[in-house]
Amino acid sequence: MMNLKGNPELTPKNLMRPLKNYGIACMSMGFLIEETAPVVWRGLMVMSAVEKLLRQVDWGQLDYLVIDMPPGTGDVQLSISQNIPIAGAVIISTPQDVALLDARKGTEMFRKVHVPVLGLVQNMSVFQCPNCKHETHIFGADGVRDLAKTVGLDVLGDIPLQVNIRETCDSGQPVVISQPHSDAAKAYLKIAVEIVRRLPAPPA
């Protein structure tokens, strides 16, 4: 999605240099293994990999460190939550019932380990036909909003189900870069503003 591939270089201190594009430093397990190789790790192997990505990377001076985690409440989430200070978590879900179950569990897990939950994002909220502009709620209309009310959180925004989002991701040109004035880009930027607004002020 960020048009990055290849193995990270090492610094003289034996730290990995993150790959960069669009002014963003990125690190992924995908850079460290073969492109088609599955990552079928659990337990100590997962924690070791998380530790490597966090502490053996020459991140330099960052404004924010964003960690994209898989759905669920497994080893990755617990390892990260218990080993580094997290300023806040954002729960992202489609509006359908089966996805909302995981979103609810994720919310409760972060609360249990004392990580502030900044809010929820409703992904694939609506599909608009590119020809007739008719809108269809393929995954349901307001599932994330209903969940937010139940758990006492805000909805930070909605991401529509659009072909141009998929196309720009696949081409490695994020929609906020390639189509900055589009409705899709504005939706992402609104969410980013809402997240930053809820984060604690950095230490002076």
Name the percent of the chain lying above pLDDT 90. 65
pLDDT at 168: 94
Report the C-alpha gap between 55 and 8 in whole angstroms.
Answer: 14
Report the C-alpha gap between 1 and 77 in whole angstroms.
Answer: 22
What value does the mean pLDDT of the chain take?
90
Report the C-alpha gap between 7 and 19 in whole angstroms.
Answer: 8
Strand partners, 24: 21
For residue 132, what pLDDT band results from cuts at 50, 70 and 90? Answer: confident
Report the C-alpha gap between 168 and 181 in whole angstroms.
Answer: 14
pLDDT digit string, tens, across residues 166-187: 999 999 999 999 999 999 999 9
pLDDT digit string, tens, across residues 61-97: 999 999 998 787 777 788 888 878 899 999 999 999 9
Give 194 or 32, the one with higher predicted confidence. Answer: 194
pLDDT at 76: 79
Report the C-alpha gap between 142 and 95 in whole angstroms.
Answer: 6
pLDDT digit string, tens, across residues 13-53: 999 999 999 999 999 888 887 777 777 766 667 778 888 88
Task: Tell which residue, 120, 123, 125, 98, has the closest CA to residue 108.
Answer: 120
Report the C-alpha gap between 4 and 2 in whole angstroms.
Answer: 5
pLDDT at 42: 66
